[in-house]
């Protein structure tokens, strides 16, 4: 219908337009709600965009077909004030159009909304269909959201491409729209770009033609090209209408894109589906593994869900413009570093890329085919994609990719660390942009994934997946809420209210600890309470309880599951030497044993007995390290246990140990030098033998397990300065600087390894070594090693150079944009020598820093800058500046983190120092 309408608009569309410049059309409204009124809904978008990469600018024109839900003369939609709109019209079904003049609309720049009042001309009745027509222009953004510049990498000249990144609410910065996930619309997209560029969008292009003066063009195209010379230097690419999809899934790109292509066969559709990886990189060889994973996991997901991937193609657009991935339907975009892997970088890096790609592909069903109705349910999309990619698909891709084994490291433990502080429920009402940031944090992603896995464990994986399949089929091409999934799973479950169980874990903050006390040889008392690393009495006051799947391991070799709904229960278990709870760490809770249980667990941890799996041993260590932070156990108990890690081969155990040691090293940043050296000496003793065995470079046919352990211990090896590693690090830095390969092959090392080695070269080097790293950064600020070089700069131990870095941040010569700022600031903060001057600088420049960050990054920035402080003086200073109840939620977590450190040091620092001194004397 929109296409027919566009032809009829040609007579007026090419006439004289009202011009609305930014000086006259920007007026601030008073409404504050993030949600649009429900009086109208969008049906279809006809969208045309012309991109001029030389001018770093784009022009857009669109016709949005909308329908009235009620009688109305008010239309409210989103449009950022960066959009210079010079054409705005409303047309009814009879093709009568009204020009929207200045007194008929207002723009709210803070909310980025546009409100139109049609009362002067027409009042729309329920079910009336009408069309909004706009034309606008805007610079292509140099930031990380919206329609953004992406530096072309590896080409002889300096140039840029452009890609979109809309999730969650940045479509409004690119075109007038109803920028909410519901309801869904159909999209027809036309892209105009210079002849030498490539145009990409969600669908496969249906036509492409050069533009000349006599070329027949559509009305929207003509609105965009009438002021340029059509001599064949421009081309137009048309993409057919999409299925119904949410606006945050819309994607396109224009630029210098190279391609590798392939396909997979869909058994459900009985046809071949084309796949490809595009990237504005001169060399795409590092992206072959990404393409292979797409070809392998997409048919696996089709089989797993019983639902075919519905689009005609699935492309991946790799870009240096940002990190991470966005699951746009049919055109996934992701950071080119995140999807790069080549032979020699090791199986661990290969597994990381596979998980990353599989996660985004899983979203093609769980986020795109079925989309949350509102952002408070976005957790379900992310949780399921993580559950599917890390647990279900990983082991199928490769036996060595059994990521269930490290699920607790990546998700359970990561979220528990935050969830034990001031936290929020997984499902949190989202009513403004500040609250929206909570929809994209660790609680949402990682706790959500952990809870989802627990639910699948309780009902049974096969039962859970049957519910997922019926859910996807019932709500395909529409929106849903979490309860819709639980209802579908419940159809296949007897004896459990799935929604009630899920609500208990998703709608209250925090998580429990279960205390296990052995009363008699066969009897145990279990008590649950909310676990917090401070103010441990709050859970009793709040009377919080959870339905806890105990997942018991009763030695020898007998397992069972019981759901604990009460605060306290007693269990009688015959022929059980020791009750071991939460086997496989599939429940989202901690376990604290009494002295008898602790002694038994410690013995079997050290002996690596078959009574405990690697995951169970790691869970014991994770719980113990957290209890040390909260004061439930002495820190020296953990240090004593970690002395026995020599010869340890379990990745999760190493993850628990490495995380704790790095945290403890950070905690001691202002303690006397002698105590810091004693701690470094202890850490060196823990990791030295393992490092000597595996080295810094992957060996031929090395397993992912060994590579993962290397990734975990190298930061510790580099921090304590094991001489052989520092020597190799300086060799590598020189090889990179001289554009030569090290004896081990620089390009064959994972970027994570190169980063740690560059940091060590600077940390244990002099000004010349720092200048070498600066040269690497300035040589190519967008290359694959740029981030590694930038982060290494902050590891200098020279106070004069630290001051110089901060001066360069002041004058803008070191970095531009939020992400590079964040990398160098966090590097400085992680360096005890640089932490204090960096915090002082950040407090002076905080408004400037936060202006660079969007709402989703703000909490990350605040936490990164201030959470590692550890004195009451620092805490009081921050509260004096920002208040006890600050406007930014992230500061509450900062306050908690500092309080935990203050209490931890007051309670344990003397015992730790004494113990370390005794150990050094014993050696």
The residues annotated as belonging to the active site are 360
Peptide bond into 168 cis (omega under 30): yes
DSSP for 844-909, please give it.
Answer: HSHHHHHHHS-HHHHHHHHHHHHTT---HHHHHHHHHHH-SS-SSHHHHHHHHHHHHHHHHHHHHH
- Cβ-contact 752, 346 below 8 angstroms: no
Q: Any idea what DSSP says for residue 338?
A: T
Question: How would you list the strands of the sheet with 331-335, edge to edge?
Answer: 258-266, 271-279, 313-319, 331-335, 325-326
**Strand extents, DSSP E, 293-367:** 313-319, 325-326, 331-335
What length does the chain have?
923
In terms of C-beta density within 10 A (0-12 exposed, 13-18 middle, 19 or more buried), how is residue 832 classed?
Answer: middle
CA angle 92-96-99, nearest 5°? 95
Please report where in the chains the tokens 């949780």 appear, as a residue: 383
Residue (of 105, 68, 76, 65) closest to 88 by Cα position: 105
CA distance 859 to 418: 12
CA angle 33-35-40, nearest 5°? 130
Please report where in the chains the tokens 């400085």 appear, as a residue: 828
Please report where in the chains the tokens 């240090």 appear, as a residue: 639
CA distance 669 to 638: 19
- Which residues are annotated binding-site positions for Zn(2+)? 359, 363, 382
Residues 6 or more apart whose Cβ sits within 8 Å of residue 517: 524, 525, 526, 527, 594, 597
CA distance 405 to 652: 7
Instruction: For the beta carbon of residue 884, count every other beta carbon within 10 angstroms.
Output: 9
Instruction: For the beta carbon of residue 369, count every other beta carbon within 10 angstroms.
Output: 25
- Cβ-contact 200, 257 below 8 angstroms: yes
CA angle 24-25-30, nearest 5°? 120
- Which residues are annotated binding-site positions? 359, 363, 382
CA distance 396 to 699: 24
Residues 6 or more apart whose Cβ sits within 8 Å of residue 269: 308
Q: Is 88 helix (H, G, I), strand (E, B) or coil?
A: strand
Instruction: For the beta carbon of residue 512, count every other beta carbon within 10 angstroms.
Output: 22
């Amino acid at each position: 219908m929109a296409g027919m309408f566009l032809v009829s608009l040609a007579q007026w569309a090419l006439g004289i337009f009202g011009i609305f410049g930014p000086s006259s059309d920007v007026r601030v409204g008073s409404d504050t709600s993030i949600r649009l009124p429900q009086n109208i809904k969008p049906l279809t978008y006809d969208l045309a965009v012309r991109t001029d990469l030389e001018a770093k600018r784009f022009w857009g024109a669109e016709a949005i077909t909308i329908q009235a839900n009620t009688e109305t003369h008010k239309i409210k939609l989103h449009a950022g004030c960066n959009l210079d709109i010079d054409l705005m019209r409303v047309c009814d079904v009879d093709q009568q159009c009204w020009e929207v003049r200045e007194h008929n609309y207002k723009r709210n720049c803070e909310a980025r909304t546009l409100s139109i009042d049609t009362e002067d001309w027409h009042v729309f009745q329920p079910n009336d269909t009408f069309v909004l027509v706009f034309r606008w222009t805007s610079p292509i953004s140099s930031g990380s959201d919206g329609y953004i510049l992406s530096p072309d990498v590896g080409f002889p000249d300096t140039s840029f491409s452009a890609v979109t990144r809309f999730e969650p609410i940045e479509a409004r910065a690119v075109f007038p729209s109803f920028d909410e996930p519901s309801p869904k619309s159909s999209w027809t997209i036309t892209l105009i770009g210079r002849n030498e560029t490539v145009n990409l969008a969600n669908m496969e292009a249906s036509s492409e033609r050069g533009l000349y003066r006599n070329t027949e063009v559509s009305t929207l195209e003509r609105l965009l090209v009438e002021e340029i010379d059509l001599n064949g230097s421009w081309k137009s690419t048309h993409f057919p209408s999409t299925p119904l999809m949410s606006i945050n899934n819309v994607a396109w790109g224009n630029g210098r894109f190279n391609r590798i292509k392939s396909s997979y066969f869909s058994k459900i559709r009985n046809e071949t589906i084309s796949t490809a990886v595009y990237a504005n990189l001169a060399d795409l060889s590092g992206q072959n593994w990404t393409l292979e994973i797409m070809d392998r996991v997409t048919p696996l997901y089709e089989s797993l869900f019983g639902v075919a991937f519905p689009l005609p193609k699935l492309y991946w657009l790799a870009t240096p413009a940002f990190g991470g991935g966005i699951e746009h339907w049919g055109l996934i975009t992701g950071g080119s570093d995140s999807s790069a892997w080549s032979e020699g970088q090791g199986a661990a890096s290969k597994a990381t890329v596979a998980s990353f790609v599989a996660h985004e592909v899983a979203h093609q069903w769980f986020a795109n085919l079925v989309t949350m109705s509102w952002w408070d349910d976005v957790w379900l999309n992310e949780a399921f994609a993580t559950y599917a990619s890390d647990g279900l698909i990983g082991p199928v891709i490769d036996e060595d990719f059994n990521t269930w084994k490290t699920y607790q490291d990546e998700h359970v433990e990561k979220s528990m660390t935050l969830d034990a502080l001031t936290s929020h429920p997984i499902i949190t009402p989202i009513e403004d942009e500040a609250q929206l940031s909570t929809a994209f944090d660790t609680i949402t992603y990682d706790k959500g994934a952990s809870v989802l896995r627990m639910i699948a464990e309780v009902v049974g994986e096969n039962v859970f997946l049957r519910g997922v399949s019926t859910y996807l089929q019932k709500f395909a091409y529409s929106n849903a809420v979490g309860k819709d999934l639980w209802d579908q799973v419940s159809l296949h479950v007897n004896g459990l209210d799935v929604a009630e169980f899920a609500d208990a874990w998703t709608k209250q903050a925090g998580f429990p600890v279960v205390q296990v006390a052995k009363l008699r040889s066969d009897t145990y008392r279990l008590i649950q309470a909310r676990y917090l690393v401070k103010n441990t009495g709050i859970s009793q006051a709040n009377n919080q309880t959870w339905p806890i799947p105990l997942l018991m391991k009763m030695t020898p070799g007998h397992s069972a599951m019981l759901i604990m709904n009460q605060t306290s229960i007693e269990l009688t278990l015959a022929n059980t030497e020791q009750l071991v709870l939460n086997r496989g760490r599939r429940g989202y809770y901690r376990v604290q044993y009494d002295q008898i249980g602790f002694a038994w667990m410690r013995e079997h941890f050290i002996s690596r007995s078959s009574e405990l799996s690697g995951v169970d041993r790691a869970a014991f260590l994770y719980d113990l390290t957290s209890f040390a932070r909260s004061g439930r156990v002495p820190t020296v108990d953990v240090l004593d246990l970690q002395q026995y890690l020599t010869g340890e081969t379990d990745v999760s155990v190493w993850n628990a140990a490495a995380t704790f040691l790095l945290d403890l090293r950070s905690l001691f940043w202002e303690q006397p030098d002698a105590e810091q050296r004693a701690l470094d000496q202890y850490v060196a003793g823990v990791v030295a033998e393992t490092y000597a065995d595996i080295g810094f470079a992957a060996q031929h046919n090395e397993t992912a397990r060994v590579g993962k352990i290397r990734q975990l211990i190298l930061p510790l090896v580099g921090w304590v300065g094991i001489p052989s590693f520092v020597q190799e690090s300086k060799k590598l830095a020189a090889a990179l600087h001289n554009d030569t390969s090290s004896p081990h092959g620089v390009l064959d090392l994972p970027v994570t390894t190169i980063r740690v080695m560059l940091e060590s070269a600077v940390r244990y080097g002099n000004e010349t070594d720092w200048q070498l790293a600066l040269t690497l950064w300035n040589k190519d600020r967008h290359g694959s090693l740029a981030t590694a070089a930038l982060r290494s700069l902050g590891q200098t131990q020279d106070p004069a150079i630290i001051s110089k870095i901060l001066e360069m941040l002041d004058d803008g010569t070191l970095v531009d944009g939020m992400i590079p700022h964040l990398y160098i600031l966090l590097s400085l903060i992680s360096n005890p020598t640089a932490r204090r001057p960096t915090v002082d600088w950040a407090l002076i420049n905080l408004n400037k820093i936060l202006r660079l960050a969007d709402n989703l990054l703000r909490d990350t920035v605040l936490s990164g800058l201030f959470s590692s402080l550890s004195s009451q003086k620092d805490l009081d200073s921050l509260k004096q500046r920002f208040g006890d109840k600050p406007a930014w939620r992230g500061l509450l977590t900062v306050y908690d983190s500092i309080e935990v450190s203050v209490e931890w040091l007051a309670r344990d620092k003397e015992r730790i120092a004494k113990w370390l001194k005794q150990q050094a004397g014993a050696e």
